[in-house]
Amino acid sequence: MKIIIVGATGTMGTYLVKVLENEHEVIKVASKGGDISADITLTESIENMFRQAGAFDALISTAGPTFVGPWSKLNNETFRTGVEGKMMGQINLVLIGQKYINPKGSFTLITGALTDEPQVNFANASAANGAVEGFVRAAAIELENGIRINAVSPTVIEDSPQYFPYFPGEIPTTMRQLECMFRKSLFGKITGHIIKP
């Protein structure tokens, strides 16, 4: 299987590359340091990424910048970080990627527990997550050629302890749980699901 991993040099992406590249052909995409460089906030960059990668069987996204900061700093400009990054960036991976993906392929996007369990400083991420999850459910009933789409929605992950103070009382998602959630989307038959630990 030919799998594109967007966000391949981040914490989640690095782990997923390591566990999947021994079994499959993995194309690493990142803003820098991957096999292909791409900025998911720019549609022309996404288009160029797919042209370079060619036909593929599955895409995993662990990318999606959002604004993290106090409510007092939220405004039209800062809020667009998540709108153009985690929301439209991932949505455009699907809207553009559907022209390049093989029949019966799959898209797996990233959201998070902030959709349902908001935390202080993360309003932008909560909103972007909710939009992506709505898109996943809607796209699942309209994508053609047997193409599936799901989202993985972890809590704070164990390999990002710098975020633990922002998520009091949350049990971190282990990297093994994260891997299994992505495997469920990649190799199962489900579509339109929000996969949680």
185: pLDDT confidence band, cut at 50, 70 and 90? Answer: very high
Q: What is the pLDDT of residues 45-85, one digit of tens each?
A: 999 999 999 999 999 999 999 999 999 999 999 999 999 99
50 vs 178: CA distance, rounded Å: 25
164: pLDDT confidence band, cut at 50, 70 and 90? Answer: very high
Q: What is the pLDDT of residues 26-48, one digit of tens each?
A: 999 999 999 999 999 999 999 99
- End-to-end Cα spacing for the chain: 25
Let me know: does 185 contact 150? Beta carbons within 8 Å.
yes
10: pLDDT confidence band, cut at 50, 70 and 90? Answer: very high
184: pLDDT confidence band, cut at 50, 70 and 90? Answer: very high
Q: What is the pLDDT of residues 77-128, one digit of tens each?
A: 999 999 999 999 999 999 999 999 999 999 999 999 999 999 999 999 999 9
What does 117-133 look like in DSSP terms, one character per residue?
A: S--TT-HHHHHHHHHHH
Domains annotated for the chain, with CATH where assigned, are 2-195 (3.40.50.720)
Q: What is the pLDDT of residues 129-161, one digit of tens each?
A: 999 999 999 999 999 999 999 999 999 999 999
The confidence score (pLDDT) of residue 169 equals 93
52 vs 110: CA distance, rounded Å: 23
